[in-house]
Amino acid sequence: MKNNDSFQPVLVFGCRRSGTTLLRSMLAQHPSLLVHPKEPQFILTLLEQFGDRLRNVEKAVVALAQHPYLPETVDQQLLMTHLFEAKVQTWSDLIHAYLLFWAGKAYGQKQIVLKDPAFTFHLDALGRLFPSARYIHVVRHPYGNVSSQKARWRDASVWECAVWWKEAVTIGHQMATTEPERCLEVVYEDLVLAPEESLRRICQFLAIPFSDKMLDFTLETISFSPEKPPEAKQFQGLDPQRLERWRSFLAPEDIRLIEHCCAAEMAWWRYETLAPQVNQLAFYGRFAKERAGYFLLKNGRYLKQQLRQLKYRIMP
């Protein structure tokens, strides 16, 4: 197997619904980049289920080969054969063996790009897996981000979505600030309004020449809207008007909740704050209710995670 320490993928991350899929679609057009077409969610799933030292190699190999987020071009049986022949013993062995199989002859010839918002909360583990990786952190204005989260996860509260944004951008911004040679921060609004300038910065960071092919892309995604069911769509190019969609979906109280949660972080990118007028009594009543609900939800998720970990540790 190749020397994993010298393997230098590009990891795209950021808060969910922040434009990482848009950036992936752009990067996929560059001739020097090989972009994984789906989020490789199996990377973190396999770590959680089987650990750094694979507790059950055979089950881990089967789980990866049958994962629903593999590209359609991957032959499951051939992949399984390849993984067994590679004699993987660790999580790192397994993931690197998969990438070698998927990339084929392009492995080592092109920079591999992996995109998953979930990377945000597992940067330490990814650092062990890819010691030489470079990172791109995508940031989106919390008004647009929270509005998009709410459209995607309709049962989520505004406070939950705002906290998710706050925690995610804090992690990414810290890495971009303390390790600028390893992590580049890209603002979603700049990517939409000034795409060439933003992409040139990215290419400079990755030490590759700019390619105008990145401006000619098709974005295949699931469109979510509060008033309609999810819909598979294709977008050609960029539509700056989509940046303002949140204005149709966020009420003044929603905006005040977002600002109450995220004002300090918004200042990092000089994001505007509107401070709309609201009924103070109603606002603080809603704030207390949503914050308490999020506290219970977060603790419930933590408990479920601990139970899953216990299950995985004792499974044969």
- Whether residue 263 is contained in a domain is answered as no
Q: What is the pLDDT of residue 305?
A: 81
Q: Does residue 238 sit within a domain? A: yes
Confidence (pLDDT) at 222: 73
Residue 45 sits in which domain range?
Answer: 4-249
Find the CATH number of the domain harbouring 186. Answer: 3.40.50.300
Does a structural domain hold residue 274?
no
Q: Are 113 and 9 in contact (CB under 8 A)?
A: yes
42 lies in some domain: yes
Kindly report each contact of residues 248-252 with a partner whose C-beta sits within 8 Å and lies 24 or more positions away, as own/partner: 249/147, 249/150, 249/151, 250/143, 250/146, 250/147, 252/276, 252/277, 252/278
pLDDT of residue 1: 46
Q: Is residue 282 part of a domain?
A: no
**91 in a structural domain:** yes
Structural domains in the chain (count) = 1
How far lies 48's CA from each of 199, 272, 301, in Å? 34, 39, 15
Quote the pLDDT of residue 196.
Answer: 97
Radius of gyration of the chain (CA): 21
Digit-coded pLDDT (tens) for 219-264 = 877 777 666 677 777 777 788 998 999 999 999 999 999 999 999 9
Whether residue 272 is contained in a domain is answered as no
* pLDDT the model gives residue 212: 95
All residue ranges of the chain with pLDDT < 70 are 1-5, 225-228, 315-316
Q: Is 267 inside any structural domain?
A: no
**pLDDT in the model for residue 269:** 97
